[in-house]
Amino acid sequence: MSEEKESDKEDRAPDEPRPRVMLNEKQVLAIVPVSRSTLWRLERQGKFPKSTYVSSNRRFWFSAEISEWQDKINGQGRHGRPK
């Protein structure tokens, strides 16, 4: 992701939270090399972050949750077993 510009930091109060980055399915699949059905299955099994719907036809994932998931599975071998 891009770094925050200095001018953006100055415009925001120190305690004001910055917006969270949202990724649509296409963006998630570009990051996570699985099929749509595998993504759905992993999410359903609780092995992948849950998506959130902003409308009846528009869902997304928070990029921070995807990053946390990547950190969690880092170093695991096949089928989620540690190497």
- What CATH number does residue 67 fall under? 1.10.238
Confirm whether 10 is domain-assigned. no
Confirm whether 60 is domain-assigned. yes
Share of the chain above pLDDT 90, in %: 65
What is the per-residue pLDDT across 40-58, written as a single tens digit (0 to 9) for each?
A: 999 999 999 999 999 999 9
CA distance 11 to 77: 45
Confirm whether 59 is domain-assigned. yes
Per the structure, the count of domains in the chain is: 1
Confirm whether 14 is domain-assigned. no
Confirm whether 81 is domain-assigned. no
Return phi, psi of residue 13, to 5°.
Answer: -65, 150
pLDDT at 22 over 90: yes
pLDDT at 27 over 70: yes
Q: What is the pTM of this model?
A: 0.69
CA distances from 70 to 5, 12, 18, 66 (A): 26, 30, 22, 6
Which residues constitute the domain of residue 70?
Answer: 19-75
Which residues, listed in sequence order, are joined to residue 74 by a DSSP beta bridge? Answer: none
Confirm whether 51 is domain-assigned. yes
